């Protein structure tokens, strides 16, 4: 087969800036956002300008969450952006819609506060995006807005949407699984290599994400078995705004890779360049999004997006002291009068503690290189690394060894945990592989599919 090259981006979260994104309430909202809001139009325009000039491929895949919160004006603006991109560059775009694109309440912001915007119905998505996969699909499932596209003479793309009218991340029924299996088997029968794309990850980007119900495909194992055991060994995903590459095997010994890509409007913001070298070898490369036209206060685009991520973690830490009820709300903790008294006390102490102090409280010690670092500063870097991938806190590093000693102290109290899909997770191993990457490079890798 001839090699095939294409680009993957995800989680555009486009907001039309002219609708309004400023004011006191806007800034208060952004205290607890990982992703940008006002800047998203400028970022997306820069990304598509870059893609238009990338002359090594004429294919772009977009793995969902096209708008910020399903605002009708934003969906229209994304559709216009994509049509303009296609007309000027001649490139093909294949996308999947996701939960941020319909049946939501979106808001604009100005000095008067938030203003509700008209949303988008699921039934309207086809008309908006039919030219980007649906209308020229060789197979189309209208109920699930899912389809099969022919990328080249030898490669087909299976696009699976997690939503149906009225439901986001809806569990797949037997009928839809039969449709998925039929497409995979047909590709095999036709001598085609098939790859897949879905918004929700199928494998947890990091082990800790297995605890979060919304962090991955609702029937992950069944989908893995259905795809991998029928010749589909690779899927491209988004949703969690993290950069990761993970692999598993089915009971029949078939490999399955999940390549999750960070949002273009949040740290880590990357474009994937994918080269299908042959039916069993796929090369993944990661390219930072280009600089975008915005007043970034002298920062690079990467630094600007990192600052927004760090703002989220630091605001959570400070809210423990200044606004415990809001802190609990952000973490889905049911507020009680007792917690409202306890959390500020804990917050004051935590915000002053060094990593060494935290370690001593757990009857262990921190390595000399990190013990004087404020715990909140250390936690910010650690949390960001979980999303950025290639987490550096591994065994044999000062931060990694310190964390592993802390996890061992906590292990008797939290030996096992239950994942959101019912699996049993070992606390120590889950945390070890969440803060340190011992597997595939999350940015650049060559995947051997079988």
Distances (CA, A) of 118 to 20, 98, 125, 317, 374: 14, 18, 14, 34, 44
In this prediction, residue 269 carries a pLDDT of 98
Task: Locate 277 and state its tokens.
Answer: 């070298």
Q: Where are the CATH 3.60.21.10 domain residues in the chain? A: 4-291
Helix (H) and strand (E) counts in the chain: 13, 17
In this prediction, residue 53 carries a pLDDT of 97
In this prediction, residue 345 carries a pLDDT of 95
In this prediction, residue 445 carries a pLDDT of 98
DSSP 113: E
Residue 291 has phi, psi (to 5 degrees) of -65, 145
Nearest in space to 9 (alpha carbons), one of 296, 364, 362, 261: 261
In this prediction, residue 195 carries a pLDDT of 98
Q: Contact at 8 Å (CB) between 383 and 306? A: no
Alpha-carbon distance of 137 to 118, in angstroms, equals: 30
Nearest in space to 256 (alpha carbons), one of 190, 169, 184, 191: 184
Alpha-carbon distance of 330 to 189, in angstroms, equals: 49
Alpha-carbon distance of 307 to 267, in angstroms, equals: 9
User: Does this model's pTM top 0.85?
Assistant: yes
Residue 300 has phi, psi (to 5 degrees) of -75, 165
pLDDT means over runs of 10, the chain (450 residues): 97 98 97 97 98 97 97 98 97 98 96 98 97 96 97 98 92 96 98 98 97 93 98 98 98 98 98 97 98 97 98 95 93 91 94 96 96 97 98 98 97 88 94 98 98
In this prediction, residue 366 carries a pLDDT of 97
Task: Locate 280 and state its tokens.
Answer: 């069993």
In this prediction, residue 443 carries a pLDDT of 98
Strand 59-62 with 4-9, pairing: parallel
The length of the chain is 450
- What superfamily does domain 4-291 belong to in CATH? Metallo-dependent phosphatases (3.60.21.10)
In this prediction, residue 235 carries a pLDDT of 98
């Amino acid at each position: 087969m001839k090699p095939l090259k294409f680009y993957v981006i995800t989680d555009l979260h486009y907001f039309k800036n002219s609708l309004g994104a400023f004011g006191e309430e806007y800034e208060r909202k952004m205290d607890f956002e990982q992703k940008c809001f006002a800047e998203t139009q400028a970022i997306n325009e820069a990304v598509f300008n870059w893609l238009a000039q990338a002359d090594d491929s004429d294919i772009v895949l977009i793995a969902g969450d096209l708008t910020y919160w399903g605002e009708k004006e934003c969906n229209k603006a994304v559709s216009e952006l994509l049509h303009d991109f296609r007309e000027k560059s001649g490139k093909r775009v294949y996308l999947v819609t996701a939960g941020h694109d319909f049946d939501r309440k979106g808001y604009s912001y100005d000095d008067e506060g938030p203003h509700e915007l008209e949303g988008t119905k699921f039934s309207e998505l086809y008309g908006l995006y039919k030219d980007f996969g649906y209308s020229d699909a060789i197979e189309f499932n209208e109920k699930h807005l899912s389809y099969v596209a022919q990328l080249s003479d030898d490669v087909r793309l299976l696009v699976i949407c997690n939503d149906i009218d009225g439901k986001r991340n809806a569990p797949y029924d037997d009928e839809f699984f039969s449709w998925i299996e039929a497409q995979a088997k047909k590709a095999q029968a036709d001598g085609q290599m098939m790859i897949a794309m879905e918004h929700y990850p199928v494998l947890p980007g990091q082990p800790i994400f297995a605890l979060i119900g919304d962090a991955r495909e609702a029937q992950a194992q069944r989908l893995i078995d259905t795809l991998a055991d029928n010749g589909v060994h690779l899927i491209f995903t988004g949703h969690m705004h993290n950069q990761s590459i993970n692999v598993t095997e089915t009971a029949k010994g078939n490999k399955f890779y999940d390549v999750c890509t960070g949002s273009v409007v949040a740290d880590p913001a990357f474009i994937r360049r994918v080269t299908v070298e042959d039916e069993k070898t796929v090369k993944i490369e990661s390219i930072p999004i280009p600089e975008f036209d915005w007043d970034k206060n002298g920062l690079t685009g990467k630094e600007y997006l990192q600052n927004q991520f760090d703002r989220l973690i630091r605001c959570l830490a400070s809210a423990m002291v200044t606004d415990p009820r809001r802190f609990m709300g952000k973490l889905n903790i049911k507020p009680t009068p007792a917690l409202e008294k306890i959390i500020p006390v804990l917050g004051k102490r935590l915000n002053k503690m060094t990593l060494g102090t935290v370690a001593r409280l757990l009857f262990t010690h921190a390595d000399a290189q990190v013990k004087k670092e404020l715990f909140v500063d250390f936690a910010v870097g650690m949390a960001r690394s979980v999303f950025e991938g290639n987490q550096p806190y591994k065994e044999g590093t000062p931060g990694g060894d310190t964390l592993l000693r802390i996890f061992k102290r906590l292990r008797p109290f939290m030996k096992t945990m239950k994942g959101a899909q019912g699996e049993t997770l070992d606390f120590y191993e889950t945390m070890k592989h969440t803060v340190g990457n011992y597997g595939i490079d999350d940015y650049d890798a060559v995947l051997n599919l079988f």
